Amino acid sequence: MLHTSGIVTTSDAKSDSKPVGGCASAGCGSPSTEVKDQKLQERIAKHPCYSEEAHHHYARMHVAVAPACNIQCNYCNRKYDCANESRPGVVSELLTPEEAAHKVLVVASEIPQMSVLGIAGPGDPLANPKQTFRTFELVADKAPDIKLCLSTNGLMLPEYVDRIKELNIDHVTITINMVDPEIGTQIYPWIRYNRKRYKGLEASRILHERQMEGLQALAEADILCKVNSVLIPGINDRHLAEVNKVIRSKGAFIHNIMPLISAPEHGTHFGLTGQRGPKPSELKFVQDACSGNMKMMRHCRQCRADAVGLLGEDRSLEFTKDKFLEMNPEYDLEKRQEVHQTIETFQAQLKKERTEKAAKKVQKQQENNLKILVAVATKGGRIVNQHFGHAKEFQIYEVDGIEAKFIGHRKVDQYCQGGYGEEATLDNVIKTLEGCKAVLVSKIGDCPKEKLQAVGIEAVEAYQAIDTAAIDFYEQYVSQENANAGVKS
């Protein structure tokens, strides 16, 4: 549990690093815990959602080719993208499969670190099988190095597992919010299945059975399955541990527990009836409770159905329909492979450094068990490389002098707008960074620096690997603390 001071001790820091079995169970988000199975590691190494490490370096893109949906979720308004994988209130431009394939090639040449194409809406991809599979076919034909990924509510999944396997779609997400249809009645008012509309308990029961059948079929076909669960306080918050147990027993690879977003202006049933979303501490509590059982995703950004870029950035506006249709793709496999090779070399170097430090850790026999939180402004690459005022989110690391462990991100409004900083925005940013001992940035102005200092957060300017900058700060922090303690005693 986090102390309000931002200091976490070894004894009370809940660790993800306790594999308790299951499919390649390993801590999620911990550089020191690795997926043991080498082959499995290779399958997820370039997928930014399935591998926390990959999300620092590799980008994904979505194409919005699937407009229809076959169920109704109480957190979704059909005017917007599928809220199972997107922030509600976001509308994407609908594309034909041909337009989508063209867009993929354009992005693949502009952003060579884009390694995954996902279809996640705006409705349910498997309620639009023609468009979804046609898009995948076109892309697989023209850009064979891009991994294919899809996200579904699961209702039609059992029908399509063979097709999914055939097309070499190696990653499938199912949103599973319950394994008890009674609870499902509070989340799903109706479904449409086999040309018939079902309501209430019957609807939830069918959906549940189809999801379980689909999940099992994916496991049998050796397709990696991520399960998304939307945490809805008072409805499934206490139930998600059971969901976690069941999906693990049926072969899910990773669990992504996401917060319900229910702003009234999105016009969803939950938004309009005052159903609240979870607080960050409630989300963390449920994630922690489930993390001992299987790999847990904590870096999801609930992106849009036409998202482009690293998970923490949004470059979709650079590739709107009017723009990408004018662009001629220059898909260059060799160039892409070179870029990926550079990333791999950098990752290998980071890994080597971490291994050496881990060895030192044993030697040092944990001289102290102090852990601190630091916030980082980064544009990706696991490097401190962003101005404080340009950050729209800060990555949070838990540092213990040996390693810097990514534990999540905190979104903020960008402080610097057109060369000026807004005081009220700065106050909110500082509030968001509460509990951190430092913020690592490539640059920061005097005013925010002083304000941060006044609340005990040191602004550190650096342009280097996050791990190195974080550990350097940690050492300086500890020696200062020791010096202060010496003066006092």
The residue ranges that bind ligand CLF (CB under 6 A) are: 49, 60, 62, 85, 116, 118, 120, 149, 151, 171, 173, 226, 256, 300-303, 311
Residue 224's Cα: distance from chain center in Å? 16
Residue 71 contact, options ligand CLF, ligand SF4, none, Cβ 5-8 Å cut-off depending on partner type: ligand SF4
The smaller minimum CB distance to ligand SF4, of residues 82 and 119, is found at 82
Residue from the set 16, 52, 53, 124 that interacts with ligand SF4 by CB under 6 A: 124
Considering the rule CB under 6 A, would residue 391 count as an interface residue with ligand SF4? no
Nearest to 448 by CA among 433, 464, 466: 433
Tell me how crowded residue 131 is: count the other CB atoms within 10 A of its CB: 23
Residue 118, binding choice from ligand SF4, ligand CLF, none, Cβ under 5 to 8 Å by partner class:
ligand CLF
> Looking at 140-280, which runs of residues are DSSP E strands?
147-152, 171-175, 190-193, 196-199, 224-231, 254-259
Q: Which of 347, 348, 231, 232 is nearest to 296 (CA)?
A: 231
At its nearest, how many Å lie between ligand SF4 and the CB of residue 300?
15
Decide if residue 71 touches ligand SF4 (CB under 6 A): yes
Nearer to ligand CLF, 85 or 467 (CB): 85
Please, what's the largest Cα pairwise distance for the chain?
A: 77
76 binds ligand SF4 (CB under 6 A): yes
Which listed range, 46-54, 76-84, 189-197, 280-288, lies at the site for ligand SF4 (CB under 6 A)? 76-84
**CB of 91 vs ligand SF4, minimal distance in Å:** 12
Element (H, E) at 336: helix 333-364
Count of residues that interact with ligand SF4, criterion CB under 6 A: 11
Phi, psi (rounded to 5 degrees) for 375: -100, 150
Instruction: Specify the 3-state DSSP secondary structure of 440.
Output: strand
Examine residue 61 and tell whether it contacts ligand SF4 (CB under 6 A): no
- Token representation of residue 60: 């994904």
How many C-beta atoms surround the C-beta of residue 127 within 10 A?
20
* Residue 303 interface partner, choices ligand CLF, ligand SF4, none, CB cut-off 5-8 Å depending on type: ligand CLF
DSSP string, 273-326: TTPPPPPHHHHHHHHHHHHTTSEEE-------TT-EESTT---GGGG-HHHHTT
Out of 23, 26, 28, 82, the only residue in the binding site for ligand SF4 (CB under 6 A) is 82
Residue 42 is inside which H or E element, if any? helix 38-44
Binding to ligand SF4 in span 138-167, by CB under 6 A: 153
Work out how close the CB of 303 gets to ligand CLF at its nearest, in angstroms, rounded to a whole number.
Answer: 4
**Sheet (strand 196-199) strand order:** 71-72, 190-193, 196-199
Based on the shown chain and the rule CB under 6 A, indicate whether residue 211 belongs to the binding site for ligand SF4.
no
Query: Which of ligand CLF, ligand SF4, none has residue 72 at its interface (CB below 5 to 8 Å by kind)?
Result: ligand SF4
- CB of residue 116 to ligand CLF, shortest distance in Å: 5
> Which CB, 153 or 256, lies closer to ligand SF4?
153
Distances (CA, A) of 206 to 85, 129, 145, 199: 22, 20, 37, 10
Among the listed residues 15, 41, 72, 216, the single contact to ligand SF4 using CB under 6 A: 72
Q: To the nearest whole angstrom, how small is the minimum distance from the Cβ of residue 85 to ligand CLF?
A: 4
Rounded Cα–Cα distance for residues 470 and 397 (Å): 8
Which listed option, ligand CLF, ligand SF4, none, makes contact with residue 73 (CB within 5 to 8 Å by class)? ligand SF4
Instruction: Pick what 84 binds: ligand SF4, ligand CLF, none; C-beta below 5 to 8 Å, kind-dependent.
Output: ligand SF4
Shortest Cβ distance from residue 68 to ligand SF4 (Å)? 9
Q: Which is nearer to ligand CLF, 174 or 416 (CB)?
A: 174
Pick from ligand SF4, ligand CLF, none: which does 416 bind, CB < 5 to 8 A by kind?
none
**Which of 64-72, 208-216, 340-348, 423-431 is the region at the interface with ligand SF4 (rule: CB under 6 A)?**
64-72
Q: Which does 301 bind (CB under 5 to 8 A by kind): ligand CLF, ligand SF4, none?
A: ligand CLF
The 10 Å Cβ neighbour count of residue 383 is 21
Determine if 69 is a binding residue for ligand SF4 (CB under 6 A).
yes
* DSSP classification of residue 465: B
Q: Give the DSSP H/E element, type plus range, for residue 439.
A: strand 438-441
Query: In angstroms, what is the minimal distance from the CB of 71 to ligand SF4?
Result: 5
Smallest gap from Cβ 304 to ligand CLF, in A, equals 8
Residue 311 contact, options ligand CLF, ligand SF4, none, Cβ 5-8 Å cut-off depending on partner type: ligand CLF
Please check whether residue 28 is in contact with residue 298, taking contact to mean a CB–CB distance below 8 angstroms: yes
The piece of 29-37, 79-87, 166-174, 425-433 that touches ligand SF4 (CB under 6 A) is 79-87
The distance from CA 239 to its chain's CA centroid, rounded to whole angstroms, is 22
Distances (CA, A) of 127 to 69, 102, 155, 200, 266: 6, 23, 9, 21, 23
Q: Which residue has the tokens 């102390």?
A: 3
Q: Cβ(207)–Cβ(191) under 8 Å?
A: yes
- Closest distance between ligand SF4 and the C-beta of residue 131, in Å? 14
For tokens 């940013």, the residue is 429
Site residues (CB under 6 A) for ligand SF4?
69, 71-73, 76, 82-84, 123-124, 153
